[in-house]
């Protein structure tokens, strides 16, 4: 304890602190020299527009970009046991000084060490983990065909229809911090994490319109009832998000876990269509969306060949329509009463949450237990504009 008006006490320590006993048996912090680098994006585009009759036009474009230095967790394996030591199998989990370990030539990495064979084989066996907050070493590529047909507002009507065919490839989850991204199964082979982006949607179709109903220019008492109506709507139809299948046996290397093997020729989907699908467990009459027989457990102490996200397996698509009806009744030229009726998720579509994708949980695998969107909402409003 000291008084601020007396100034800070003199520092008597020695920097940098190179005491080899610091944090032994705990967590060490590491800041990579690359951690200060900012992400950047290279973008390119080629588009063609054509004017069409009826105040409309069409736009067709190829749009692409490449993102570099994205946040990732690909270096979480800085203290990973080198992958070739998986050949030791169950010996990895035994104490380093057990009879079998000694017979295999395992020795103490430093005086006073206590732990498993796997711990003794880590690059820095004195630490349980090395926390690396900033790992800007991820990448992503994006390619898309974007088409748009639009009618400018005329004669009380405007509308827009747009369609995008796209594909994103990445080796990270694109979260802001390393902690929130999935780690690499083998930090020395980061290419294993290259796959379809977890937020990729192959097809995106959106339409919208605004229409002033006839009667806007009516005169007399009838205009108060029939005039001033307008309608608008927005519809969205997106492909489902890609699914990543989890599971596989334990890999005691302090890396990013494991995945199952794909079964060649097996359909990853069950025969239940999206329209017939029912959420919930078997006891509640629920139906599985995914076929667990399409995956198998890899041999002990080996990696499965499953991808971070499966290229041809998607969750439930997004479909939504919002509609609004507006009536403006003019009291004077500058004042009006506005009535609004708005319908969100007009057709009350149900979009289920992505199914359980953990093959190590066979009872619940492939089943969905929740609704991912909001049921239909209808709201009315009345306001005075002046």
The whole-number pLDDT of residue 330 equals: 80
Query: Is the bond preceding residue 16 a cis peptide, omega within 30 degrees?
Result: yes
Q: Residues 80, 84, 86, CA angle at the centre, nearest 5°?
A: 80
> Helix or strand or coil: residue 232?
strand
Tens-digit pLDDT profile for the chain (386 aa)? 678 888 888 877 777 767 767 778 888 888 888 888 899 999 999 999 999 998 999 999 999 999 999 988 888 888 999 999 999 999 999 999 999 999 999 999 998 899 999 999 999 999 998 888 888 899 999 999 999 999 999 888 999 999 999 999 999 986 666 667 888 999 999 999 999 999 999 999 999 999 998 865 666 666 667 778 899 999 999 999 999 999 999 999 998 889 999 999 999 999 988 888 899 988 888 999 999 999 999 999 999 999 999 988 999 999 999 999 999 888 887 888 999 999 999 999 999 999 999 999 999 999 999 999 999 999 999 998 88
The answer to whether the CB of 62 falls within 8 A of the CB of 46 is yes
Burial string for 90-122 (b: 16+ CB within 10 Å, else e) reads ebbebbbeeeebeeeebeebeeebebbbbbbbb
Q: Residue 316: CA atoms inside 13 Å, Cβ hemisphere, count?
A: 29
- Here the tokens at position 14 are 């020695």
Reported pTM: 0.84
Q: Please provide residue 262's backbone torsions phi and psi, each rounded to the nearest 5 degrees.
A: -75, 140
Question: Read out DSSP for 61-117?
Answer: EEEEEEEEEEE-BTTGGGGPPPGGGGGGGGGGGSBTTSHHHHHTT---SSTT--SBH
């Amino acid at each position: 304890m000291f008084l601020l008006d007396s100034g800070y006490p003199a520092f008597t320590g020695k920097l940098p602190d190179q005491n080899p006993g610091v944090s032994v048996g705990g967590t060490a912090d590491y800041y990579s020299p690359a951690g200060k680098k900012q992400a950047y994006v290279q973008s390119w585009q080629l588009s063609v527009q054509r004017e069409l009759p009826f105040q409309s036009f069409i736009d067709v474009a190829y749009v692409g970009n490449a993102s570099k230095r994205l946040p990732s967790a690909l270096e979480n394996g800085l203290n990973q046991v080198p992958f070739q030591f998986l050949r030791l199998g169950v010996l990895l989990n035994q104490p380093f000084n057990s009879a079998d370990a000694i017979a295999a030539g395992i020795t103490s990495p430093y005086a006073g060490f206590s732990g498993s064979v796997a711990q003794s084989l880590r690059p820095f066996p004195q630490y349980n983990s090395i926390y690396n907050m900033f790992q800007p070493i991820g990448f992503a590529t994006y390619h898309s065909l974007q088409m748009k047909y639009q009618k400018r507002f005329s004669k009380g009507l405007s509308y827009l229809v747009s369609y995008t065919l796209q594909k994103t490839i990445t080796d990270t989850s694109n979260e802001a911090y390393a902690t929130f991204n999935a780690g690499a199964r083998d930090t020395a082979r980061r290419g294993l994490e290259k796959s379809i982006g977890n937020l990729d949607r192959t097809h995106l179709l959106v339409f919208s319109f605004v229409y002033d109903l006839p009667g806007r220019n009516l005169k007399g008492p009838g205009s108060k009832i029939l005039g001033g109506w307008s309608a608008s709507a927005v519809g969205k139809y997106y492909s489902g998000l890609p699914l990543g299948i989890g599971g596989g046996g334990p890999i005691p290397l302090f890396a990013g876990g494991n995945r199952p093997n794909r079964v060649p020729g097996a359909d990853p989907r069950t025969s239940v269509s999206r329209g017939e699908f029912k959420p919930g467990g078997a006891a509640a009459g629920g139906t599985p969306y995914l076929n667990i027989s399409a995956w198998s457990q890899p041999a002990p102490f080996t990696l499965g060949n499953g991808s971070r996200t499966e290229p041809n397996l998607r969750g439930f698509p997004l479909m939504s329509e919002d509609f609004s009806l507006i009536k403006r009744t003019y009291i004077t030229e500058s004042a009006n009463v506005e009535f609004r009726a708005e319908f969100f998720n007009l057709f009350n579509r149900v979009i289920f949450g992505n199914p359980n994708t953990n093959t190590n949980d066979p009872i619940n695998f492939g089943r969905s237990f929740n609704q991912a969107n909001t049921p239909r909402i209808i709201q009315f409003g009345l306001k005075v504009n002046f």
